[in-house]
Chain A
Amino acid sequence: MSQSINFDPIRLPPEAEELRLEVREFLAEEIANGSFNPSSSILKSGFDREFSKRVGKRGWIGMTWPKKYGGQERSFLERYVVTEEFRSQNAPVTCHFTADRQSGPVLLKYAQEHIKLDILPRITAGDCCFCIGLSEPNSGSDLFAASTKATPTTGGYLINGTKLWTSNAHQADYMIGLFRTSPPTKENRRHGLTQFLVDLKQPNITINPVRNMAGKHDFNEVVFDDLFIPEDHLLGEVDSAWKQATSELAYERSGPERFLETYYMLPELVRVLGKQPDIRAKEGVGRLVAQLHTLRRMSVSVNGMLQAGKEPVLEGSIVKDVGTIWEQALPSKARELASFIDDEPGNRTNFDELLQFSTNIAPKLTIQGGTTEVLRGIIARGLGLR
């Protein structure tokens, strides 16, 4: 094989299982206190800064980062457990999740020391929200066709242009933006883009909502009109985003959230089917659980590789591809298997509400964070075909 595909059967270590119990206890308390309701929280925005601060107090945001920056220096596998437990209960993680998963690690690697000392502890405290400024009206999958400009000026850069599809920009404190500092070269069409830290509280930024077809406000259009960014907000090297982005994407694509976004449909299905469903429903549930178990084992394996310091780009892409297809199909499969469950006396009201919502958002699952087509291109490259 041109590149071998590796999915060793890594098991989560004992400390990760102990942590799991702590997380479950925390979530049970939060639910009992009414901070969120797992049966309906998925229908809401998921943004709760106070909740994120309480999570931060437990040391569960940025938990793999150095202690000097507010992290706990814990393992990727421990982080895995925290992430999957939060997702299994539909906990409102929107405020801190992007910063925890990828923005923080970018700062850790490429930001200047004083920036790290200022911002990272605020992220780990759950009091700093980030969004991702990559896509534009004319570039999404073709990341390096971005054209929002960063023009050098005294003491920094002036930003002009528009980012689009920026989830949560309207509630975020910062953005990590990809801006063009030079034209691409003949040798390297990806040359010329630079990563910047953007303070969204500055004037000269206009954020306009873009409602999705589920009626939710996640997306935004972010317009920059001569926004000034100081020199020290440049991350890494100028024109070098193409080198810096790869490991960020490996992180972004490796987590359990990449196949758990509609997970709630599965226990809801089991609930409405009852203890002794017919053979058809049993088979359907059995297949879905086997498929989910497989995804989970693959995902733990990828995180084991991250823990070992590897960069499992191929494996991460495989898991995201298989995972997003699965989570996208889950609502419709649940729908079919529940076909013969009557809706008297209201025994499937919650199921139906969640089914409607998950059906409505399903299209985005194979688009966000790297489309299926892009992922398959990466996998093909890993097979030596490109």
Chain B
Amino acid sequence: MSDDNLLVDATTKIFEDLCDPQNINAAKDGSWKQLLWNALEESGLTSAWVPEEFGGAGASISDGFRIIEVAGKFAVPIALPETLLGGWLLSNANINIPKGIMAVAPTRPRDKLTIHSSGTLNGQVRGVPFASEADHIVAAIEDAGSTKVALVAKNNCEIKSFSGLSGDPRDTILFDNVGTISIQKLQGDLSYRSVKLMGATIRSLQIGGALMAILELATEHAKTRVAFEKPIAKFQAVQHNLAKLANETAAAVAVANSAADTLANSPDNEQAIFFEASSAKIRTGEAVGEGTAIAHQVLGAIGFTEEHILHRFTQRLWDWRDDFGNESEWAVELGALIAENGADELWPLLTTR
């Protein structure tokens, strides 16, 4: 068995043991969070994208994406993908990676931070997942034609707590002349947009993973839930709805993995990365709408309760599709490129991938 599968297996095992959605849903307190984080940190998963020479696990981009997809499958309610992204950013800016939880800002495309001549950060960013739980914030800033990465201690920031639908923190951070631990240029050909596209791909994979989970929940329910003297799976209407959910899940998983493959294997191909990652975020965002509606329809009133775990997935899906650009935002950018290139360049672009 290849290393990749071992990594997925190890991650899955930790989530099965310490992050089972049923157990988390029924938990009386939040003590499971620290146990889960410790296990992930001990196994190197939280530093997957930090090279070994920087003290990280040094896993490949591919491997990191696989971990993230599994995290989506379990609707993991901690800042694991965010910490991976933070580690990737800091490594690509030659900044030492701190231990602990990282949140990444901005998460919304139109939120912008600025750097004062004294090197302090200013600006407001909204909807930052897990900012209040983080030890550090990793910020990307566009500054005079280049992209800077800043490492900031969370406690130096003013944080207003907000919750996503899932209850996961999605906070507003106010940077008011905030000092940084370090601030460096993003290396190589990476740009501000690269950061957004990386975030978009991460979320696309989480969406694909969570859709796989709700497809499983819905089909299992349909096979066992009896109504009118037979499992509801025997009704054609239910079968066709679940087929549509399978379609949306397949589309999401396919396009997200295609984007991940592009980032992993063609890291210097800016056009390809933009095309694939924006398409992935658009299409997975669209899949969330129809997919969550069908899963809830099949699971009926039971699936609408707090006690049932379906909401753990659907609420996160509704949160995630808004992160790192929603469908409309990316579609406008992609459409602008297509229009600018002209009709005759459309087919050539599609067939480069």
Which residues of A are at the interface with B, using a C-beta cutoff of 8 A?
1-2, 5, 7-9, 11, 20, 84-85, 88, 266-268, 270-271, 273-277, 279, 281-287, 289-298, 301, 315, 318, 321-322, 373, 375-377, 379-380, 382-386
**Are B344 and A286 in contact, with the CB atoms below 8 A?**
no
**Are B239 and A385 in contact, with the CB atoms below 8 A?**
yes
B33: shortest Cβ distance to chain A, in Å? 28
**Are A293 and B353 in contact, with the CB atoms below 8 A?**
yes
Is B132's beta carbon under 8 Å from chain A?
no
Is B250's beta carbon under 8 Å from chain A?
yes
From 214 to 245 in chain B, residues with beta carbon under 8 angstroms from any chain A beta carbon are 215-216, 219, 222-223, 233-234, 236, 238-240, 242-244
Is B144's beta carbon under 8 Å from chain A?
no
From 317 to 353 in chain B, residues with beta carbon under 8 angstroms from any chain A beta carbon are 327-328, 330-336, 338-340, 342-344, 346-347, 350-351, 353
**Are B343 and A285 in contact, with the CB atoms below 8 A?**
no
Q: List 24 A-B contacts (CB under 8 A).
A: A1-B212, A1-B216, A2-B219, A7-B254, A8-B257, A11-B353, A267-B347, A270-B338, A276-B339, A285-B331, A286-B331, A290-B278, A290-B282, A290-B331, A292-B350, A293-B275, A294-B254, A301-B254, A379-B247, A380-B242, A380-B243, A383-B215, A383-B243, A385-B233
- 10 closest A-B pairs (Cβ-Cβ)? A286-B331, A286-B335, A282-B335, A380-B239, A286-B334, A7-B254, A376-B243, A285-B335, A379-B243, A290-B282
| A254 to B223 Cα, complex, angstroms | 29
Known contacts A9-B260, A318-B250; A275/B340 CB under 8 A: yes
Residues of chain A within 8 A of B236, CB atoms compared? 377
Known contacts A9-B254, A287-B282, A376-B240; A383/B339 CB under 8 A: no
| A260 to B234 Cα, complex, angstroms | 34
| A2 to B332 Cα, complex, angstroms | 38
Residues of chain B within 8 A of A298, CB atoms compared? 250-251, 254
Chain B interface mostly: helix
* Number of B positions contacting A (CB below 8 A): 55
Chain A interface mostly: helix
A249: shortest Cβ distance to chain B, in Å? 16
Which residues of B are at the interface with A, using a C-beta cutoff of 8 A?
212, 215-216, 219, 222-223, 233-234, 236, 238-240, 242-244, 246-247, 249-251, 253-255, 257-258, 260-261, 275-276, 278-280, 282-283, 286, 327-328, 330-336, 338-340, 342-344, 346-347, 350-351, 353
| A68 to B343 Cα, complex, angstroms | 42
Residues of chain B within 8 A of A375, CB atoms compared? 243
Could you say which of B257, B283, B351 contacts A84, with CB atoms under 8 Å apart? B351
| A119 to B253 Cα, complex, angstroms | 42
| A270 to B340 Cα, complex, angstroms | 9
| A340 to B244 Cα, complex, angstroms | 33
| A343 to B89 Cα, complex, angstroms | 50
| A284 to B328 Cα, complex, angstroms | 9
Known contacts A266-B346, A383-B246; A286/B254 CB under 8 A: no
**Are B222 and A385 in contact, with the CB atoms below 8 A?**
yes
Known contacts A2-B219, A267-B343, A384-B219; A291/B253 CB under 8 A: no
A308: shortest Cβ distance to chain B, in Å? 17
Could you say which of B233, B282, B342 contacts A270, with CB atoms under 8 Å apart? B342
**Are A281 and B350 in contact, with the CB atoms below 8 A?**
no
**Are A275 and B342 in contact, with the CB atoms below 8 A?**
yes
| A2 to B224 Cα, complex, angstroms | 14
| A290 to B255 Cα, complex, angstroms | 9
Known contacts A290-B334, A318-B246, A386-B239; A5/B253 CB under 8 A: yes
**Are A379 and B246 in contact, with the CB atoms below 8 A?**
yes
